[in-house]
Structure 1
Amino acid sequence: MKWRYSLRWMLRHIPCPGERELVSVVVKAGEPAPEAIMSRFVPGSGYAVTLDFTEIKPVKRWSEERKAAARRRNLERRVRKHAPLFADELIERQIAERPDYFYGKQIL
């Protein structure tokens, strides 16, 4: 795994006086900021040492069962918080009105 250190302009309310990124260096994960970055860093100058993680992990999609369980759990929590006396009836109504959503189907 690799990390990317860079020296970037970070003051959004002030226009950048030059390059938005002065220096960038790719290093092995866990290594401290290299000397090439730290030697050019001046505190208070508007440039900051930033760290980017270069490896992008694939997005994990939830199964329909897991989505359905989370949606029902969230619905129950919301309804029981605001209307505890009528919670069971309101939950049943919501599930009856939108069965696909609460059974984990993809809504486009």
Structure 2
Amino acid sequence: MSDVVEAGLPAPESVMSRWVPGAGYADFLDERQIRRWSDERKAAARRRNLERRVNRIAPLFADELIERELETRPAYFRGKSAR
């Protein structure tokens, strides 16, 4: 048996009439709304990850490689998605 109930509302009588304490458990599924990152937050994370990656692989040339990557894909590092 299943009933769809809006979040925050009590269980419907059809469910409560069948439930008794100690009878087992019930599964409840609430789909959380997807929280999208702002463009600024995406840009900061992408730049931070780029710096970490380049500094780990080629620390001697990090500044040059980071600058080159920022010039190659400016929209991506401003937080804009391809979609």
Shorter-chain-normalised TM-score: which range?
0.5 to 0.7
* TM-score (norm. length: structure 2): 0.68
Higher relative contact order (CA 8 A, sep 6+): 2
Q: Which has a greater percent of helix? A: 2
| Count of residue pairs brought into register by the alignment | 66
Q: Deviations over 1:22-55 (max 9, x none)?
A: xxxx89xxxxxx5357xxxxxxxxxxxxx85511
Q: Which has a greater percent of strand? A: 1
1:1-108 to 2 correspondences below 5 Å: 35-36=23-24, 53-108=28-83
**Offset at residue 67 of structure 1 (A):** 0.2
Q: Where does the alignment leave 5 or more consecutive residues of structure 2 unmatched?
A: 1-6, 9-14, 17-21
Q: Where does the alignment leave 5 or more consecutive residues of structure 1 unmatched?
A: 3-25, 28-33, 38-50
Give the whole-Å Cα distance in 1 for the aligned partners of 2:24 and 2:41: 47
Q: Give the fraction of aligned pairs with identical amino acids, expressed as a percent.
A: 58
Considering only aligned residues, what root-mean-square deviation do their CA atoms show, in Å? 2.4
